[in-house]
């Protein structure tokens, strides 16, 4: 591993408190399920990204460590417990994602809306970001989530067009772009965000083309990070992108008209997500 892919040891006491709260309330985080390299950092700062609708995904992306299995029935009490966790941890901004639930009639859109509504009712000053699956490209399901009023609507593009079938065999780049475009064109006052990872074998020209596609679709916030292989059963890392190249990508993307760009080896779609939202929308928690 390159020297720039190291992190300092973080606060173990705060990490323990976050993990105990999550376990006690029977919640799931994408931090643990996806083996995110930032999870100890985030836990030590007293935060986490919650993953609703279970811990088993109906799709099997070749970069992702989340379990691919038949999911269980959604838990109707999950939104209440998530609100309790946010309150206990004193979070001012929360990111909520989910596994893909192609098995459900509404693919989980209603559960997203219920979770957003529960936070708004119980903790009205907390900023909310959702990172959703593509809902099979069904605009009416995207609207269910948007109407619940998250501050940021995010859907990740993940990789470049040429590599889509290798990296995300059950997804479709055009479908994901349509989801973002629909959200950007809807009667929605929040921000539109997407992320991609580098290291699958993409070229810089392909990265720039993907960013242009995202911008044309109405995406305002772009996050670009380094893919790290979660296990030997996942795609190999083809290249470790140096920090200075990420810096150049950030400047290029800002020149395309994005309002905020985070790019770096440890950048992930939910990592320090509140920075972009608060910079562009003001203090969401005031």
Residue at 7 is within a domain: no
Domain containing 204 equals: 12-281
Instruction: State how far the Cα of 48 lies from the Cα of 28, in Å rounded to an integer.
Output: 10
Q: Which pLDDT belongs to residue 218?
A: 98
How far apart, in whole angstroms, are the C-alpha atoms of residue 76 and residue 79?
7
| Residue 196 covered by a domain | yes
**Does 130 map to a domain?**
yes
Contact criterion met (CB below 8 Å) for 22 and 67? no
Per-residue model confidence (pLDDT) at position 180: 98
11 alpha carbon, distance to own chain's centre: 24
Number of domains in the chain: 1
Joined together, the tokens standing for residue 113 give 């809306």
Residue 180 is part of a domain; what is its CATH number?
3.20.20.70
SS (H, E, C) the chain: CCCCCCCCCCCHHHHHHHHHHHHHCCCCEHHHHCCCCCHHHHHHCCCCEEEECCCEECCCCCCCCCEECCCCCCCCCHHHHHHHHHHHHCCCEEEEEECCCCCCCCCCHHHHHHHHHHHHHHCCCCEEEEECCCHHHCHHHHHHHHHCCCCEEECCCECCHHHHHHHCCCCCHHHHHHHHHHHHHCCCCCEEEEEEEECCCCCHHHHHHHHHHHHHCCCCEEEEEECCCCCCCCCCCCCCCCHHHHHHHHHHHHHCCCCEEEECCCCCCCCCHHHHHHHHHCCCCC
pLDDT in the model for residue 236: 95
Answer whether residue 274 is part of any domain. Answer: yes
The answer to whether residue 35 sits within a structural domain is: yes
1 is a domain residue: no
Residue 286 maps to a domain: no
Q: Is residue 110 in a domain?
A: yes
The tens digit of pLDDT for each residue in 101-138 reads: 999 999 999 999 999 999 999 999 999 999 999 999 99
Strand partners, 221: 193, 260
Q: How many CB atoms lie within 10 A of CB 88?
A: 15
pLDDT-derived band of residue 40, with 50, 70 and 90 as boundaries?
low
Task: Provide the sign of the torsion angle of the four alpha carbons 19, 60, 134, 222, taken in this order.
Answer: positive
At residue 283, does pLDDT exceed 60?
A: no
pTM of this prediction exceeds 0.85: yes
- In this prediction, residue 41 has a pLDDT band, given cuts at 50, 70 and 90, of low
């Amino acid at each position: 591993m390159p020297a720039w892919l190291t992190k300092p040891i973080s606060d173990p006491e705060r990490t323990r408190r976050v993990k105990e709260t999550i376990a006690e309330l029977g919640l799931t985080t994408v931090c643990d399920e996806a083996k995110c390299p930032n999870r100890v950092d985030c836990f030590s700062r007293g935060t986490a990204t919650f993953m609703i609708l279970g811990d088993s995904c109906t799709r099997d992306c070749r970069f992702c460590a989340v379990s691919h299995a038949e999911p269980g029935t959604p838990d109707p009490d999950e939104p209440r417990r998530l609100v309790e966790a946010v309150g206990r941890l004193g979070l001012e901004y929360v990111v909520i994602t989910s596994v893909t639930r192609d098995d459900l009639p509404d693919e989980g859109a209603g559960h997203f809306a219920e979770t957003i509504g529960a936070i708004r009712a119980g903790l009205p000053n907390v900023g909310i970001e959702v990172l959703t699956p593509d809902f099979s490209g069904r605009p009416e399901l995207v609207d269910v989530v948007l109407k619940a009023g998250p501050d940021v609507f995010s859907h990740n593009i993940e990789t470049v067009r040429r590599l889509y079938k290798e990296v995300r065999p059950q997804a479709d780049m055009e479908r994901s772009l349509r989801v973002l475009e629909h959200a950007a064109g809807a009667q929605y006052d929040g921000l539109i965000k997407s992320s991609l990872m580098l290291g699958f074998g993409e070229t810089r020209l392909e990265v720039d083309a993907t960013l242009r596609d995202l911008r044309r679709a109405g995406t305002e916030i772009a996050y670009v990070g380094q893919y790290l292989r979660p296990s030997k059963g996942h795609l190999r890392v083809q290249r470790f992108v140096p920090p200075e190249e990420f810096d150049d990508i950030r400047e290029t993307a800002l020149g395309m008209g994005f309002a905020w760009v985070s790019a770096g080896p440890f950048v992930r779609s939910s990592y320090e997500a509140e920075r972009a939202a608060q910079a562009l929308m003001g203090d969401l928690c005031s």
